[in-house]
Amino acid sequence: MAGNEPGDSRERAFLLASKMIEAKGLLEMNGGADAGNPSNLRAGSAWVWWIPAAAVGAWWLRDLSYYWNSNVESRFGWIVLILTAYLGWERWPTRPRRGEPVSPGQGLLPAVAAWPLLLIAELYKNAIARVAWTSLAVSIACALFLTAWIWLRYGRATWRHFLFPMIFFFVAVPMPDILLSPVVQGLRGIVTRLNVEVLNLLGIPALQQGNLIRLPGCVVGVDDACSGIRSLQSSVMAALFIGDLTLRRPGWKFVFLLAGLGLAVAGNFFRSLYLSITAHQHGAEALKQVHDSAGWSVLVFTGVGVGVLAWCAVRMEHWFLHRARRPMVSRS
C-alpha cells in the first residue's frame, strides 16, 4: 500500500484541480449572467435603489408641510398622507411579481420633464414668494420623478398598480386660485340661489345680490365656508379612499365620487339655509353663536352620509355583478 500512495496522491491532486477549475468556470458564468441581467443587480442592491425614492418623497413632504402647518384649512393634508400610505401598503401584497423594467432611455423621460418644473418652482419660491403654483409644480415634478423611479425599478405594470395612491395624494396639494376660484364661485352661486328660492317658498322674503342673501332687517353672506369648499375637499378625500377600498369597478367608483360631491353640496345648502332662517328669526347677531356648530354639523352629516352611500354602493355593485353573471351561467 505504501507503493500506491504517490499515485493516489497524484490522482487526488488531479481531481481536486479539476473541481477547482470547474467551480471557477461556473462562477465566471454566473458572474457574466448577473452582469448582463439588470434585475439581478437590482435585487443585490435593493436598499440603494430606495434612496432616490426616499429623497423625492422627503422633498415633496417638506414642501407640502409648510402649507399644512401654516394654514388651518390645509391641515387635513396630514390625514391624506396617512391614508395614502395605507393605500400603498394595502396594494403592496398584490403588486406584480414579475415586473419588466423599461429601458433607461424611456424610464428617464419623466425625470427629464420634471427637472424644469422643479427648478423654476424652487427659484421662484426662494427669490420671490412661496405660492400655491410653486407647490403644485413641485408636486407634479416629484410625481414624475417617482414615475421614472418605478419604471426603471419595477416597470409600467407596477406603476399602474400604485398610480391611484399617487393621484390620491394630490388631494392635499394646494390649488392655485385660478383653478379653485371658479369652483368656489360656482358653489357660492348655486347655494345662494337655492337658498333664496327655498326661503321664498317658506314665506320669508329673500333677494339674491351676488353672494348675499338680503332678508328683512339683515343680510346674510355666503362665504367660502358656506359655499362648501372645505366639506367638498373632505368629501373628495373620503369618496376616493372609501370607493377604492370597497368598490371594484371604475364606473362605480366614479358614480360614488359624484354622489359624495352632491352630498357635500346638499349639506352646505342646508347649513346656509339654517343660518338664513336663524338670522331672519333672531337677527344677524345670532349667527355668531351658531355659525361654527353648523359647520361641524355639516362635516358630521357628510361623513355619515358618505358611509351610508358606501354601504349602499357596495350592495348595488354586488347585485349588478350577480345579475350579470346569471345569464352567463344559464347559457353554459
pLDDT one-digit tens code per residue, 72-115: 777 888 999 999 999 999 999 998 887 788 898 888 999 999 99
User: In this structure, what DSSP letter does residue 5 have?
Assistant: H
Mean predicted lDDT score pLDDT of the chain: 79
With 0-12 / 13-18 / 19 or more C-beta atoms within 10 angstroms meaning exposed / middle / buried, residue 91 is middle
pLDDT for residue 57: 94
How many CA atoms lie within 13 Å of 85's alpha carbon, on the beta-carbon side? 7
Percent above pLDDT 70 for the chain: 78
* Contact residues for 41 (Cβ-Cβ < 8 A; gap 6+): 34, 35
Q: Are 67 and 156 in contact (CB under 8 A)?
A: no
Q: Are 141 and 114 in contact (CB under 8 A)?
A: yes
pTM attached to this predicted model: 0.74
pLDDT reading at 147 higher than 60: yes
To 10 degrees, the CA torsion angle through 83, 89, 95, 97?
160
Residue 40 one-letter amino acid: N
- More confident: 40 or 159: 159
Count of helices and strands (H, E) across the chain:
14, 3
Closest CA to 222 of 209, 233, 237, 211: 211
